[in-house]
């Protein structure tokens, strides 16, 4: 079968992140590779996940082996092309200082003096990211999932200029509903229901993102609608489509960690409506914030163990009933959760050796 573990498109310039977790390294989970190199030269296009994968059996363990703790969230580590990552075999840590040098055991980067003409807002601009962020950027500010409560009272396009059926950039639209002080909105259309494969319950609906609109004139006394202008068109929008306020710019710090509580989820959809997902593609699972997931949670992917006939098993009473065997779930990759809703989450497929399918298992690392 085709190997899907090849790293896809990588990001060259992005803001890096800080670390978490003061927990000690767990040998069973965060073991170093037997053939781990002594060092790695950081090059443009690297990610922390990729670099850690050269040293670790599970790359998502990198916050632990860098010896980071919660206080360092406010004091980020920046790693740039041209630096060297060292493996200190004695302490079982990764560091930017060569083992034996002063301060190497702490894993802290060497002191860098900045020239006066450098502006502080430029710090980290060329730092390597933790994951291939370009793969998820389009999904961070768009309404991927619409839960039932979100539809209650949401504004809708009630009419269009000159009765146009389909609308594009620059067109004028009339919107009915409370704006609650917002002026910029995203337009969407509720799409495919996301059903829990275990219960059959509809958890939410995938949102079909259509574009953006901006308030031109709020409804005046005697007028029932607000006047908007289409500022961006991803797909054609029309009467009846819904509006959601444009969310604030999300934080781009992605720190991998196991969920705080045990999670056993199933893949319920593959973004784009395709049958299989490979490296750096997006899938949704039937667990969310109510189940203990947050941004950065890492889950292991398994093909659900099938039930097959047991040719050598004993038959049931009176020779009726076919004997069966339950096969084990087969682990084949990782899922990095980057957006979380109440009952549903979206994850980036990482390090898979086989394609992801709807129904596959995603659960806490063991």
pLDDT tens per residue across span 311-350:
876 665 445 567 888 888 889 999 999 889 889 999 999 8
pLDDT of 125 reads: 60
CATH code (residue 333): 2.40.30
Report the distance separating Cα 316 and Cα 323, nearest Å.
7
Q: In this structure, what token pair is assigned to residue 237?
A: 């929008």
Range of the domain at 284: 264-363
Could you tell me if 131 and 160 lie in one domain? no
**Domain assignment of residue 88, yes or no:** yes
**Domain assignment of residue 130, yes or no:** yes
Could you tell me if 149 and 229 lie in one domain? yes
pLDDT of 304 reads: 79
Report the distance separating Cα 48 and Cα 19, nearest Å.
12
Specify the 3-state DSSP secondary structure of 133.
helix
Output the tens digit of pLDDT for each of the chain's 366 residues: 333 333 332 222 222 223 323 333 333 467 898 999 999 998 888 888 888 888 988 888 777 776 654 444 334 457 788 888 888 888 888 888 888 765 544 545 444 433 333 333 344 567 777 777 777 777 776 767 887 677 777 899 999 887 777 788 889 999 999 999 999 999 998 888 888 888 888 888 888 889 999 999 999 999 999 999 999 988 888 899 999 898 776 655 577 888 888 999 999 988 877 889 998 899 999 999 999 999 889 999 999 788 888 887 666 544 556 788 888 888 999 999 988 988 999 999 988 889 999 999 999 987
> How does pLDDT run across 114-136, given as a tens digit for each residue?
333 333 334 456 777 777 777 77
The number of distinct structural domains making up the chain is: 3
pLDDT of 174 reads: 95
Cβ count within 10 A of residue 155? 22
Could you tell me if 87 and 158 lie in one domain? no
In this structure, the chain runs to a length of 366
Report the distance separating Cα 150 and Cα 121, nearest Å.
36
**Domain assignment of residue 283, yes or no:** yes
> What is the overall mean pLDDT for the chain?
77
Cβ count within 10 A of residue 81? 15
**Domain assignment of residue 107, yes or no:** yes
Last residue of a domain, one of 119, 135, 151: 135
**Domain assignment of residue 13, yes or no:** no
SS3 content of the chain, % helix, strand, coil (to 5): 10, 30, 55
């Amino acid at each position: 079968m085709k190997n899907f573990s090849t790293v896809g498109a990588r990001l060259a310039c992005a803001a890096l992140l800080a670390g978490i977790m003061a927990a000690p390294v767990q040998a069973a989970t965060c073991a170093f590779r037997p053939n781990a190199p002594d060092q790695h030269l950081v090059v443009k296009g690297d990610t922390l996940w990729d670099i850690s994968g050269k040293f670790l059996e599970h790359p998502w363990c990198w916050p632990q082996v860098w010896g980071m703790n919660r206080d360092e969230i406010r004091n980020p580590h920046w790693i740039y092309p041209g630096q060297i990552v060292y493996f200190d075999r004695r302490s079982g840590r990764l560091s930017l200082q060569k083992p034996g040098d002063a301060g190497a055991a702490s894993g802290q980067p060497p002191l860098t003096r900045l020239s006066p003409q450098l502006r502080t807002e430029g710090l980290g601009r060329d730092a390597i990211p933790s994951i291939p962020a370009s793969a998820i950027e389009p999904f961070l500010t768009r309404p991927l999932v619409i839960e039932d409560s979100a539809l209650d009272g949401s504004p809708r396009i009630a009419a269009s200029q000159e009765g146009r059926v389909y609308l594009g950039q620059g067109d004028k639209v009339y919107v009915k509903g409370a704006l609650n002080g917002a002026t910029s909105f995203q337009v969407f259309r509720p799409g495919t229901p996301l059903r829990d494969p275990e219960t059959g319950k509809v958890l939410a609906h995938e949102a079909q993102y259509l574009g953006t609109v901006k308030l031109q004139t709020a409804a005046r006394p005697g007028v029932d609608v607000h006047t908007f202008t289409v500022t961006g068109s991803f797909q054609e929008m029309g009467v009846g489509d819904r509006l959601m306020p444009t969310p604030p710019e999300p934080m781009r710090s992605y720190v991998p960690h196991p969920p705080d509580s045990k999670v056993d989820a199933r893949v319920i959809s593959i973004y784009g409506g395709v049958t299989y997902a490979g490296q750096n593609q997006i899938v949704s699972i039937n667990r969310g914030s109510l189940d203990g997931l947050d941004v950065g949670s890492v889950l292991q992917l398994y093909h659900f163990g099938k039930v097959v006939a047991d040719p050598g098993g004993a038959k049931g009473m009176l020779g009726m009933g076919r004997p069966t065997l339950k096969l084990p779930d087969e682990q084949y990759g990782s899922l990095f959760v980057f957006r979380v809703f109440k009952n549903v989450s979206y994850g980036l497929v990482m390090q898979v050796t086989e394609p992801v399918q709807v129904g596959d298992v995603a659960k806490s690392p063991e």
